[in-house]
Amino acid sequence: MSTWSNNGFTISTQKQYLDIYVIHKFLSNDSYWAKGITIESVAKSIEHSSICFGLYEGDPRFEHAAQIGFVRAATDFVRFAYIMDVFVLKEHRGKGLSKWMMEVVTEHSDLKHVGKMLLCTNDAHGLYAQYGFQEISNPEIFMERKRS
């Protein structure tokens, strides 16, 4: 379990501090990728994710802290990691917190040597490019199975 602090904000990988209600509200109402997701599905996705990063205003070990961002990863910690559900609440954007979260995620001791990291975005290519993400070099090798 890891924790980082910066100017009154904290990032923690301890799932016990995650506020499922904040995460669900954002994903269900404000995200373009998980609109309408149930709170049960959010809980299950967190439970089965390899590592989660909660971003807090304050220190989550104390009651006054509030969760304001989130990232989760599914990974084998060696060859592949899929980064998902990256967000900072709207009222906290413009403070460099997304950049800090991505720096923490990509430099985390369990993730920084993973052979391939993948994520999907409609609108944040510039952010992720700063941390080494680029367009898929061989998209023809990827396949997907979608359920409606």
Contact partners, residue 80, CB within 8 Å, separation at least 6: 114, 115, 116, 117, 118
The model's pLDDT over 8-55, given as tens digits with 9 standing for 90+, comes to: 999 999 999 999 999 999 999 999 999 999 999 999 999 999 999 999
The model's pLDDT over 87-105, given as tens digits with 9 standing for 90+, comes to: 999 999 999 999 999 999 9
**Secondary-structure breakdown of the chain: helix, strand, coil percentages, each rounded to the nearest 5:** 30, 25, 45
CA distance 105 to 98: 10
Is the pLDDT confidence value at 77 over 90?
yes
Contact present, 54 and 11 (Cβ < 8 Å): yes
Looking at the domain covering 3-141, what would its CATH class be?
A: alpha beta
The model's pLDDT over 104-139, given as tens digits with 9 standing for 90+, comes to: 999 999 999 999 999 999 999 999 999 999 999 999
Is the pLDDT confidence value at 1 over 80?
no
Nearest CA to 77 out of 131, 113, 128, 119 is that of 113
The model's pLDDT over 47-72, given as tens digits with 9 standing for 90+, comes to: 999 999 999 999 998 878 999 999 99
CA distance 51 to 49: 6
